[in-house]
């Protein structure tokens, strides 16, 4: 999901670190846009098994970090893409709720595909898993303030610029949501009063 709002932000942040090579999934029509955001290796997930392609591009070595907003079976794929010392960062579960209506069978399939891990397994594999849920950090004002301050400094310096796909008035929130569900956006959708 490299072309979404968080994906483009992650790519821009990666540009601030020397030597980072990025791989990102997006439909072929969005490859040029994510290249501009810093993606060195765009992968069309409609036409290519992204895990196989990342292994090919890294000569089978894998990657140091996987940022995964998808969840379920993709967490399993992400773990397999990590080289020793690698980290899977889970920050969403889009696979569970894709489509306009919740599909109970899909929810069950995705839940059943979540890898069950123990600390011993992670230690033996020399891999780490972390989860991020910003909504559960709202009481950590000092932590959030520090991180936001750093991001705002990058923005003020012109190093990063949020990519806005479209702006909708709040009265058209349903249209904005449909744009996201159709995977038509590249960057964030903004609602205005």
The full set of domains in the chain, from first to last, is 5-162 (3.40.50.720)
pLDDT tens digits, 81-123? 999 999 999 999 888 776 666 788 888 888 899 999 999 999 9
Query: Buried (b) or exposed (e) across 30-62, using 16+ Cβ within 10 A?
Result: bbebbbebbbebbbebeeeebbebbbeeeeeeb
Sole residue written with tokens 């140091």:
64
Q: What is the pLDDT of residue 100?
A: 64
64: pLDDT strictly greater than 90: yes
90 touches 131 (CB < 8 A): yes
Gap between the Cα atoms of 16 and 150, Å rounded: 12
């Amino acid at each position: 999901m490299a072309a979404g709002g968080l994906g483009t932000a992650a790519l821009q942040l990666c540009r601030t670190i020397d030597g980072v090579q990025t791989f990102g999934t997006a439909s072929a029509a969005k490859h040029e846009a994510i290249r501009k955001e810093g993606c060195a290796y765009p992968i069309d997930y409609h036409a290519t098994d992204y895990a196989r392609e990342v292994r090919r591009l890294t000569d089978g070595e894998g990657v140091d970090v996987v940022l995964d907003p998808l969840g379920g079976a993709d967490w399993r794929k992400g773990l397999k893409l990590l080289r020793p010392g690698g980290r899977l960062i889970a920050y969403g579960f889009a696979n569970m709720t894709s489509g306009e209506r919740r599909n109970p069978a899909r929810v069950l399939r995705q839940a059943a595909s979540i890898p069950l891990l123990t600390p011993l397994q992670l230690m033996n594999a020399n891999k780490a898993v972390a989860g991020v849920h910003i909504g559960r950090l709202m009481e950590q004002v000092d932590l959030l303030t520090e991180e936001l301050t750093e991001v705002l400094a990058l923005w003020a310096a012109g190093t990063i610029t949020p990519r806005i796909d479209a702006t909708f008035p709040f009265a058209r929130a349903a249209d904005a949501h449909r744009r996201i569900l159709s995977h038509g956006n590249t960057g964030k959708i903004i609602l205005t009063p």
